């Protein structure tokens, strides 16, 4: 059993795969010769998300050069999140690290990422160093992991390491994040079940910026709103209509729930773990009013401009029994369908 499994999601990035694999096993790259990882006991799974280029041919050639390299082709294109889940499911190691097929890793990437998260039984992430056209660029620095700000601002990038157990407890990478921000979604998913990130303040991950990145194409206001709606659909207990997202924007009016204790036994009291219900306030209050739902004792604001929102499903009978002026003042609304990406039929 290898100490760590590196999962490399790949869609039409066949031309970049030799660089990514060479940064793991050693060899020539577009940045010059690399010695390979200081942690030698690993496996790397290239997950081909039904690429239409020469990814399969290149990947199979790489597997013949080093027995640590494996190749997995998806039966249909499902996006990066689905590809990551498929690769992790096939992992032989209980420890997982992520490396996008168009990026590279410094020689001590696996060793330091694995050591950092195993020391505290949590998950780790590091800074990035950008590169393009064979030259290193600026370092992309991140902050330490603070759960209260994670739903509003992504704390890191694609460089992540965690246990296979944590991935399973968190529910994996949300498959609906097929158009991007799946790394941010995983930061939320892990934090939502009580795991805390360890930030390595070193650029151990080399991030290619050569106009192929999705993040260069999906930063418009329409895309930002789409991702916010996706997160609200996935974690309605953390998001409200006023939540602002992405770097440089204002904080949410409602803070997310306090982060629960880590692991299976510590999430029972987090609102929404048993599901959420969407309700509309039909009462007569002119302004916002505080409601403490039963049995969860979660506090919600309804009234004024905040007429509808999500509540813990266990609290639904209590809300439907509320009366104002002799009439019930809450009605249940049907669940919203997943949001549709801008320009995608």
Tokens 């949410």 belong to residue: 252
- Which of helix, strand or coil describes residue 264? helix
Q: What is the pLDDT of residue 254?
A: 39
On whether both 76 and 220 belong to a single domain, the answer is yes
Please provide the average confidence, as pLDDT, over all residues in the chain: 84
Q: What is the pLDDT of residue 245?
A: 52
On whether both 301 and 160 belong to a single domain, the answer is no
Q: Are 293 and 312 in contact (CB under 8 A)?
A: yes
State which H helix or E strand residue 92 sits in: none
- Which of helix, strand or coil describes residue 99? coil
Query: Which residues have a Cβ under 8 Å from the Cβ of 110 and sit 6 or more positions away?
Result: 4, 6, 24, 37, 38, 39, 42, 97, 161
Q: What is the pLDDT of residue 311?
A: 80
- H-type helices in the chain, by residue range? 17-25, 55-65, 80-89, 109-120, 164-170, 182-192, 221-234, 316-320
% residues pLDDT > 90 (the chain):
52
Q: How far is CA 304 from CA 45, 284, 286, in A?
A: 53, 9, 5
On whether both 167 and 28 belong to a single domain, the answer is yes
Q: Is residue 261 in some structural domain?
A: no
* Average of per-residue pLDDT across 71-100: 93
Which structural domain, as residue segments, surrounds residue 75? 4-232
Rounded CA gap, 345 and 332, in Å?
29
Point out the domain boundary residue: 207, 232, 257.
Answer: 232
- H-type helices in 175-262, by residue range? 182-192, 221-234
On whether both 289 and 157 belong to a single domain, the answer is no
- Which of helix, strand or coil describes residue 62? helix
Q: Is residue 248 in some structural domain?
A: no
Q: Is residue 45 in some structural domain?
A: yes
On whether both 81 and 183 belong to a single domain, the answer is yes
Residue 256 has pLDDT above 60, yes or no: no
Residues in the chain: 345
Rounded CA gap, 175 and 163, in Å?
19
* Average of per-residue pLDDT across 293-318: 81
Residue 264 has pLDDT above 50, yes or no: no
More confident site: 304 or 246: 304
Q: Is residue 22 in some structural domain?
A: yes
Q: What is the pLDDT of residue 338?
A: 66
Residue 13 has pLDDT above 70, yes or no: yes
Residues 183, 188, 194, 197, CA torsion sign = positive
Q: Is residue 66 in some structural domain?
A: yes
Token code pair at residue 292: 């403490």
* DSSP-assigned beta bridge partners for residue 161: 97, 124
* Average of per-residue pLDDT across 20-25: 97
* DSSP-assigned beta bridge partners for residue 48: 10, 73
> 8-17, 207-216, 284-293: which range is least confident on average?
207-216
Q: Is residue 225 in some structural domain?
A: yes
Q: What is the pLDDT of residue 252?
A: 35
- Which of helix, strand or coil describes residue 311? strand
Residue 2 has pLDDT above 60, yes or no: yes
Q: What is the pLDDT of residue 343?
A: 63
On whether both 161 and 275 belong to a single domain, the answer is no
Comparing C-alpha atoms, which of 287, 297, 290 is closest to residue 318?
Answer: 297
Q: What is the pLDDT of residues 138-184, one digit of tens each?
A: 999 999 999 888 888 889 999 999 999 999 888 889 888 888 889 99
Tokens 């991007």 belong to residue: 180
pLDDT band for position 119 (cuts 50, 70, 90): confident
On whether both 143 and 280 belong to a single domain, the answer is no
Q: What is the pLDDT of residue 259?
A: 58
- Which of helix, strand or coil describes residue 282? coil
On whether both 228 and 276 belong to a single domain, the answer is no
On whether both 149 and 226 belong to a single domain, the answer is yes
* DSSP-assigned beta bridge partners for residue 29: 32
Q: Is residue 123 in some structural domain?
A: yes
On whether both 96 and 226 belong to a single domain, the answer is yes
State which H helix or E strand residue 236 sits in: none
* DSSP-assigned beta bridge partners for residue 280: 308, 331
Q: What is the pLDDT of residue 231?
A: 86
Point out the domain boundary residue: 232, 262, 295.
Answer: 232
Residue 199 has pLDDT above 60, yes or no: yes
Q: Domain tally for the chain? A: 2
> Domain holding 166: CATH number?
3.90.550.10
On whether both 309 and 177 belong to a single domain, the answer is no
- H-type helices in 72-163, by residue range? 80-89, 109-120
Q: Is residue 69 in some structural domain?
A: yes
On whether both 142 and 81 belong to a single domain, the answer is yes
For the beta carbon of residue 287, count every other beta carbon within 10 angstroms. 9
- Which of helix, strand or coil describes residue 295? coil
Point out the domain boundary residue: 232, 260, 293.
Answer: 232
């Amino acid at each position: 059993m290898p100490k760590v499994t590196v999962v490399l999601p790949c869609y039409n990035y066949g031309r970049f795969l030799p660089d990514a694999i060479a940064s793991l096993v050693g060899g020539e790259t577009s940045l010059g010769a690399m010695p390979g990882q200081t942690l030698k006991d690993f496996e790397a799974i290239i997950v081909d998300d039904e690429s239409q280029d020469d990814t399969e041919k290149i990947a199979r050639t790489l597997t013949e050069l080093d027995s640590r390299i494996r190749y997995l082709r998806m039966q249909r294109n499902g996006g990066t999140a689905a590809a990551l889940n498929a690769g992790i499911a096939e992992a032989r190691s209980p420890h997982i690290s992520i490396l996008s097929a168009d990026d590279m890793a410094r020689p001590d990437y696996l060793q330091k990422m694995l050591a950092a998260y195993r020391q505290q039984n949590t998950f780790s992430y590091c800074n990035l160093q950008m590169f393009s056209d064979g030259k290193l660029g600026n370092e992309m620095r991140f902050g330490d992991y603070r759960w209260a700000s994670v739903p509003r601002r992504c704390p890191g990038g694609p460089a992540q390491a965690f246990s296979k157990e944590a991935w399973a407890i968190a529910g994996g990478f949300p498959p609906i994040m097929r158009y991007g921000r799946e790394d941010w979604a995983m930061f939320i998913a892990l934090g939502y079940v009580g795991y805390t990130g360890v930030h390595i303040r070193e650029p151990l991950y080399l991030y290619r910026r050569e106009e192929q990145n999705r993040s260069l194409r999906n930063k418009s206001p329409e895309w930002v709103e789409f991702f916010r709606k996706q997160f609200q659909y996935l974690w309605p207990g953390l998001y409200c209509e006023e939540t602002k997202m992405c770097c440089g924007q204002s904080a949410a009016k409602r803070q997310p729930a306090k982060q629960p204790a880590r692991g299976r036994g510590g999430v029972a009291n987090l609102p929404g773990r048993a599901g959420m219900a969407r309700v509309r306030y039909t009462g007569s209050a002119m302004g916002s009013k505080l409601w403490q739902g039963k049995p969860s004792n979660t506090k919600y604001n309804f009234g004024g401009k905040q007429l509808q929102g999500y509540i813990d499903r266990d609290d639904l009978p209590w809300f439907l029994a509320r009366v104002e002026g002799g009439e019930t003042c809450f009605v249940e609304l049907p669940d919203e369908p997943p949001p549709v990406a801008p320009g995608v039929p």
